Amino acid sequence: MTALDGLTILDFSRLLPGPYATWLLTEMGACTTRIENPREVTKQARVFGWDKLSGAERESIRAQDMLARGKRSLMLDIGHDKARDVITHIARAADIVVSDYRPGVLDKLGLGPDALMATNPRLIYCEISLCGQTGPYRDRPGHDPLAMAISGAMSRAGDRPERPSALGLAAADILTGTNAALAILAAVTERTRTGRGKHLDIAMSDAAMCLNANVLSRHPDLSTIPPRGQRRADTGIWRTKDGKFIATSDMEPAYWERFCALAGHPEWIPLQLDPAARADIIAQIAALFETRTRDEWESILSEANTQFAPVLSVTEALDDPHNLARGMVTELDSPKAAIRQLSLPLGDALRPETPHRAAVMPGTDGAEVLADAGFSQDEIDALIQDGLFG
């Protein structure tokens, strides 16, 4: 048995935070059913240009969606007049509902937390949105960059003093999904004592604010927060002779001393935190790294026992022996070819023994989901005739 064996999830989420949260829980054994709205599927296809691809091409792309891996798919027009009864019936036996619709959207359809928790008091209903279910920004639409901006985290991003930078990574999305999974598991634990579910309000802006934790913990006097920019010479990203990059983080004195020794500049050691010397030291370090390739620097820095890492591309990271040894790459079969995806990042103890099946096309498991919920074949056929499945 897996850690979350027996937990059932109805997943209305479509964007990155919600699917990431339910992916974490699915990998640990929860049985997750995606409620996929035909209109949302069509909209997503247009956003990414998938509507111009063949059916086989779209199936191949879907199979590569690691966040849909191992999840069942029920295609359901949630605006249909019979959708409420069908979903309510399924939700009566569910443990968890996850939604990333804007505040109030599912409430208007009779599918919000008040309605579903009234029929299933043990239900844990997790709502994920940009700015939460309360507050002045409650109804704002938006994605990861806006959460980063509202939280103050974007103001710290990048090393350009003149302007903040986009990270190029969905940091707020992934952190929000992790927070949602953590909150859900806490609510499941609480339910074992109380017998009752809980409504969870998870905001991307809240999650992103926690990216400021290191700054706030070190600068209780906010006026002392240093400006954005490269503030240290002992830490940086350096271009090598072959156009690749090495990252260093020799902040601890012993490591800085070792780096200065191998660089041939012991006079830098007492200047580690000297703002006046910083620009000159950085320029000399940058020039030094340009004299050898990344592989050569890996050997030199390893021998000197300093803190460093090559800046790997995504492809290189998937092939890196350490990441492979840690089990962070999994391979699974799809209808067309083997697919390489990421594994659950929580260690071997919680990972499934065998990889889940690749993501399936929307609606693949509809009949199975409804049959498991107690619908007869005649009832399923009637719902299909009524156009409930788009």
Largest CA distance in the chain: 84
Q: Which residues are registered as beta bridge partners of 201?
A: 127
What CATH class does 235-316 carry?
A: alpha beta
Instruction: Answer whether 188's CB lies under 8 Å from 124's CB.
Output: yes
Instruction: Answer whether 199's CB lies under 8 Å from 164's CB.
Output: no
How high is the pLDDT of residue 117?
A: 98
- Reported residue count of the chain is 390
CA-closest candidate to residue 74, choices 344, 384, 333: 384
Query: Which amino acid makes up residue 352?
Result: P
Q: Using CA atoms, how far apart are residues 138 and 127, in angstroms rounded to an integer?
A: 12
Instruction: Answer whether 45's CB lies under 8 Å from 37's CB.
Output: no
CATH 3.40.50.10540 fits 8-211+360-385, yes or no: yes
CA 202 and chain centroid, separation: 14
pLDDT tens digits, one per residue of 208-260: 999 999 999 999 999 999 888 878 999 999 999 999 999 999 999 999 999 99
Domain coordinates of the chain in residue numbers?
8-211+360-385, 235-316
How high is the pLDDT of residue 231?
A: 80
How high is the pLDDT of residue 390?
A: 66
How high is the pLDDT of residue 354?
A: 87
Backbone angles phi, psi at 245, to 5 degrees: -135, 150
How high is the pLDDT of residue 338?
A: 80
Buried b / exposed e along 124-157 (16+ C-beta atoms within 10 A): bbbbbbbbbbeeeebeeebebebbbbbbebbbbb
Q: Using CA atoms, how far apart are residues 20 and 174, in angstroms rounded to an integer?
A: 7
Q: Which residues are registered as beta bridge partners of 333?
A: 338
How many Cα atoms sit within 13 Å of 40 on the Cβ side?
18
How high is the pLDDT of residue 201?
A: 98
Residues in the chain, pLDDT under 50: none
Q: Using CA atoms, how far apart are residues 82 and 79, in angstroms rounded to an integer?
A: 8
